[in-house]
Amino acid sequence: MKITCVGGGPTGLYFALLSKLRSPRAEVTVIERNAPGATHGWGVTWGDELLDDLYACDPASARRLRGASLLWGKQEVRIDGRAPVHLGGKYGYSMSRSRMQQILTDRASELGVRLEYGQAVDDDAAIDADLVVAADGVGSRLRARHVERFAPTITTGRNRYIWLGTSAVLGAFTFAFERTDMGWVWAYGYPSTGGTSTFVVECAPSTWTGLGLDRMAPDAGLRLLESVFAKVLSGHRLREPPMTLGRSPWLHFREIRNATWRHGRVVLAGDSAHTTHFGIGSGTVLAVQD
């Protein structure tokens, strides 16, 4: 049995290691177009439901992920300088995406998964495998090759958003809303590991252009957002994800749905199969549970 996962994010890596764990004689390969260690985004977050699944499927990697994660137990809403409103009854775990990928990479390698980097796969016909897992993200090239079969529905959101990190270690999962002369700007932030936090900023198109974010150099845009969220950030800097350097980091959220997740030997998983809005912090959860 030959299994190839296209995409070396959490989806492809976890599927590969579980496949090897359950079928030791299978030839399992992960093909990743980027260099080892390269990743987008900053942190990932999840709750007990995923942690229970991880321990049930592979206790070894589950223990490493839990040991490297940070436990958060507070949520708060901040609106335009008012006193924060605290929300109880919810806690979760978070860690840097790069650390999560390294743990899953190490575990997959231990089990005998073959890891290949620096290769872009556009055509599954060139892959010698019985099963091809398309874990190549929201812009999946393998899904596009069989677009008539998978019949994806892609809905592009109006708002602009930017996925940032910050040196501010947030003490809670934070929802911050700030009023500017050009309209509201809001952020979703949560603590990560390594002395950073994830900080996703979103705004309406009219606010984005009104503030000049469509014309500013990325660094100037970050300085403007730091001034907007000065109280939340407590004077700390915002950081642009490394993989967006050299191009605009502002995006439109794309909701992906497919008529089917399987065509022949090709199966979609993670963001290539479905997406969920970053505001609920469940993208990695759904991808790994796939």
Helix (H) or strand (E) holding 187: strand 183-191
Residue 41 has pLDDT above 70, yes or no: no
The least confident of 68-72, 157-161, 180-184, 226-230 is 68-72
Interval 56-103: pLDDT, tens: 999 999 999 999 999 988 899 999 989 999 988 778 899 999 999 999
Query: Do the strands 153-156 and 254-257 form a parallel or antiparallel pair, or are they unpaired?
Result: antiparallel
- Rounded distance, CA 130 to CA 173, Å? 43
pLDDT of residue 225: 97
pLDDT of residue 194: 81
Q: Looking only at Cα atoms, what is the longest distance across the chain?
A: 62
Structure tokens at 45: 């977050």
The answer to whether the beta carbons of residues 16 and 9 sit under 8 Å apart is: no
Helix (H) or strand (E) holding 183: strand 183-191
- Which ranges in the chain belong to alpha helices (H)? 10-22, 48-57, 59-68, 97-110, 141-145, 147-150, 205-210, 218-228, 230-233, 283-289
Identify the band that residue 246 occupies on the pLDDT scale cut at 50, 70 and 90. Answer: low
According to DSSP, residue 84 is labeled P
Output the CA angle 272-278-281, nearest 5 degrees.
105
pLDDT of residue 37: 79
Identify the band that residue 38 occupies on the pLDDT scale cut at 50, 70 and 90. Answer: confident
Number of CB atoms found within 10 A of residue 115's CB: 18
Over residues 220-238, mean pLDDT? 95
